[in-house]
Structure 1
Amino acid sequence: MNCYCGTNKPYESCCEIFHLNGGQTETAEQLMRSRYSAFVLANGDYLMQTHHESTRPTKEKEAIVNWAKSVQWIKLEILETTKDTVEFNAHFSKKGKADCIHENSKFIKENTLWYYLGYAENTY
């Protein structure tokens, strides 16, 4: 089975590596893909760890995990990537109704680690 993030690699050779190494990705897109897989797996610890401390929604962790578990994730579609932004569509279904999150995510690299900073545009 291919990784949840949509690459042609198995999860074990793709996002699991980042889930186990604390998010040590080489690019913002790799971090975005690994965060999508973390949503699929409802891995709240990873989502918090890879969210920049200045915008990290620590108090919302449980709600985020509960929401991630309440939907069926369909696919991740990367639309455009720059050095520190990733525009994507995350397709999911809730109670049989298809939906999509469109986001232009901002990332920041501190020392050697990339972090999710927030979004420039978000459409639900």
Structure 2
Amino acid sequence: MTTSPPSPPCPCGRLGPAKKPLALARCCGHFLDDFAGTPAPDAESLMRSRYTAFVLERADYLLATWHASQRPAQIEFDPGVKWLGLEVRQRRLVDATHAEVEFVARQKSPGSPAVRLHELSRFVKEGEGAGRWYYVDGDQR
């Protein structure tokens, strides 16, 4: 009997009920792998999945989840960047279609000290039926 290897921990750092990191396949992986069929259920999940997409260099997912009013034409990743972790500081549902998530992400580029990206991100929910969350923009802290 052949078993598939276990999924690695999700880069976003979300913990499961046992306070252990969730596997990528059970966390952000299904959002990244099935964008059309599996939208992130809330702004925090979208933000976490976007962090994971940066770690995995998934420009397709980042562009698809960026609101059309702010979406860049393309995304380029800096070579050799290592993402070191994500901390969600707070999340706030402003109303039924707007939310904010404050987070700190840490990264290190080759030959440089580690840096922290501290941002208050804004999200909007749009679309038919239950809708879909999109990243709009953020303020650096």
Alpha-carbon distance in structure 1 between the residues aligned to 2:116 and 2:61: 22
1:67-82 aligned within 5 A: 67=78, 69-82=79-92
1:16-35 aligned within 5 A: 16-22=29-35, 24-35=39-50
Whichever residue aligns with residue 116 of structure 1, its letter is Y
The 3-state SS of whatever aligns with 1:19 is helix
Query: Between Structure 1 and Structure 2, which shows a larger proportion of helix residues?
Result: 1
TM superposition shift of 1:90: 0.5
TM superposition shift of 1:50: 0.2
Whichever residue aligns with residue 46 of structure 1, its letter is Y
| Structure 1 unaligned residues grouped into runs of 5+ | none
TM superposition shift of 1:94: 1.2
Deviations, residues 68-95 of structure 1 (Å, cap 9, x unaligned): x431000000001012010000001112
Q: Moved runs in structure 1, 4+ residues, more than 6 A? A: none
Greater alpha carbon shift after TM alignment, 14-23 vs 4-13 = 14-23
Is 2:3 aligned against 1:5?
no
User: Alignment partner for residue 49 of structure 1, among 42, 64, 87?
Assistant: 64
TM-score after normalising by structure 1:
0.88
TM superposition shift of 1:2: 1.9
User: Alignment partner for residue 136 of structure 2, among 89, 93, 117?
Assistant: 117
Whose radius of gyration is greater, 1 or 2? 2
The 3-state SS of whatever aligns with 2:32 is helix
The aligned length equals 117
